[in-house]
Amino acid sequence: MKNVFIHSTALVETDQIGEGTRIWAFAHVLSGASLGKNCNVGDHCFIEGGAWIGDQVTMKNGNMVWEGIRIEEGAFVGPHVFFTNDLYPRSQRIPQSRKRYAKKENWLLPTLIKKGASLGAGAMILAGVTVGEFSMVGASALVTKDVPPYALVVGAPARVRGWVCECGLPLRFKQGKATCADCGLRYRARGSRIAVVDPSR
Ligand SMILES: CC(C)(COP(=O)(O)OP(=O)(O)OC[C@H]1O[C@@H](n2cnc3c(N)ncnc32)[C@H](O)[C@@H]1OP(=O)(O)O)[C@@H](O)C(=O)NCCC(=O)NCCS
Ligand SMILES: [Zn+2]
């Protein structure tokens, strides 16, 4: 692995780590986990085999990323976000659940965090949801269903409360149009969704 920094107290059992990625103290990355280039994984993160993390992801301290969780490039995972991969969990050690847990497809529900999305501190992401591109999940939100691209969601259960720019700042729409006050990126509302207006894209 080229130009990868692994803190001396971290346990890293995968060789699928992209160039420039840094893994900090007391993190544990299991065999079969995959991390892209230029990621930053904070102290006390646990990344299970079957978890997939793209390039340029920032993961703050204390995250547990299970099998079935896919985090696309440039996403931000705040401290202590809760991911889940089973909606109806049972101990796999009791006879009553043995049949269900014999096959992964019976219980494992994949979760997708799309490109550029941000997950606020302590957010809880229920198994099976897709968190849309460049959306923003507020601190402590409970995400029970898909989050549209560029949406700001808060609360339990999380609801759309506004829209944010790719740079992270809130957008204010007038007659279906918005221009970011900071970076100048332009957007248009299409029904209940918004999209970037940029002929070069
Ligand atoms: C959701 C968020 C982006 C909203 O910011 P904002 O638009 O500036 O919101 P305001 O502070 O103006 O608050 C507006 C209202 O939303 C409420 N609110 C703000 N954040 C909230 C949250 N995470 N959950 C629930 N309600 C929230 C406020 O209490 C306020 O309610 P009121 O109108 O009844 O008084 C921000 O509060 C947040 O949670 N950011 C994530 C921070 C984080 O986790 N960072 C991680 C890096 S360390
Ligand atoms: Zn912007």
Q: What does pLDDT average to in each consecutive run of 10 residues of the chain (201 residues)?
A: 95 98 98 98 98 98 98 98 98 97 97 98 98 98 98 98 98 96 95 86 72
Q: From the CA of 162, give the closest atom in ligand 1.
A: 7
Give the pLDDT score at 6: 98
Burial 106-134 (b: 16+ CB within 10 A, else e): ebbeebbbbbbbbbbbebbbbbbbbbbbb
**Terminal C-alpha separation, the chain:** 33
Beta-strand relationship, 28-29 and 11-12: parallel
Give the pLDDT score at 80: 98
Q: Is 140 in the pocket of ligand 1 (CB under 6 A)?
A: yes
Give the pLDDT score at 83: 98
CA 50 to ligand 2 center in whole angstroms: 34
Give the pLDDT score at 100: 97
Give the pLDDT score at 191: 85
Q: Is 142 in the pocket of ligand 1 (CB under 6 A)?
A: no
CA 161 to ligand 1 center in whole angstroms: 10
Give the pLDDT score at 192: 85
Task: For residue 176, give both structure tokens.
Answer: 């279906």
CA 94 to ligand 1 center in whole angstroms: 42
Would you state the torsion angle of the CA atoms of residues 60, 61, 65, 70, taken in this order, to the nearest 10 degrees?
A: 10
Kindly report whether the global pTM for this prediction surpasses the value 0.95. Answer: yes
Say which ligand is closest to the CA of 181.
2
Give the pLDDT score at 201: 72
Helix, strand, coil % (nearest 5) of the chain? Answer: 5, 35, 60
From 77, 119, 154, 169, give the residue whose CB has the most ligand 1 atoms within 8 Å, as the site to mutate. 154
Give the pLDDT score at 2: 84
Tell me the C-alpha distance between 112 and 94, whole Å. 30
